[in-house]
Amino acid sequence: MSVASRLYQLQTTEQRLKEQKQLLKGVITRLERNDELTSAQSELAGLQALRDDKRKAQRQLEWEVEELTGKIRGVNDQLYGGSVRNPKELVNLEQEIKSLKRHLGDKEGLLLEAMDATETAEEEANRVGADVARIEAAWDEEKPQLQQVKSDAQAAIEQLVQARDSLRAEIGPANTALYDSILRTKGLAVVKVEQGRCKGCNITVPSGQWQTARGGEVVMCGSCGRILFVE
């Protein structure tokens, strides 16, 4: 196998190694954090807090309605129980009842609004709670698959590292240094020659150059400076 062929194989191996490392990183991130679940849980917490506030406001109005109803009952007992006979006091009691009833009507209206608000808040919290449960169930189902992908990626990385190190040792320090230098500046160090053209820059390669490259020598494209590989 020629040096150019080994360099091309090295490049392919390192590309696969990079892909597997990116895959592993993504899988680990996914296993450690589920952004969709975190977002849904945060939304649920906010809705539950809102629901609790609405419930608290509703209970407060219920107590106030109950208190006003008790006061009206007490004044009614005074007005019609026969214990008060003074006409002026009776008039005052009637006015007090009217005032309490107006106040009670206002509170009952607010209570109905509060009950509607509580019901809406509960429905929203229940809806998002169901979403959280669904996402959690899906994630629990996905985790074993992610663990398998993680395990496969780790094994692939180990094999690719060994293959990379072996290829670099076979190629030697001079050619690997050239390869690394081109890789840093060009992003792709070794390119194929197909139909007489460099696949790195699409410029026609002189026949003498690609014939030399086919013979196994390290030849660089005169246009883009990458190492040419002819199969």
Q: Are residues 140 and 217 in the same domain?
A: no
The SS3 of residue 153 is helix
pTM of the predicted model, to two decimals?
A: 0.70
Over residues 110-152, the pLDDT tens digits come to 999 999 999 999 999 999 999 999 999 999 999 999 999 999 9
Q: Are residues 129 and 47 in the same domain?
A: yes
Q: Write down which residue in 140, 156, 171 finishes a domain.
A: 171
Q: Are residues 123 and 190 in the same domain?
A: no
The SS3 of residue 197 is strand
Q: Mean pLDDT: which of 30-34, 54-58, 78-82 is highest?
A: 54-58
Which residues lie closer than 8 Å to 221 by C-beta, 6 or more apart?
191, 198, 200, 201, 203, 205, 209, 227, 228
Q: Are residues 32 and 124 in the same domain?
A: yes
Q: Are residues 113 and 182 in the same domain?
A: no
User: Domain residues for 197?
Assistant: 175-229
**CATH code (residue 22):** 1.10.287
Over residues 23-39, the pLDDT tens digits come to 999 999 999 989 999 99
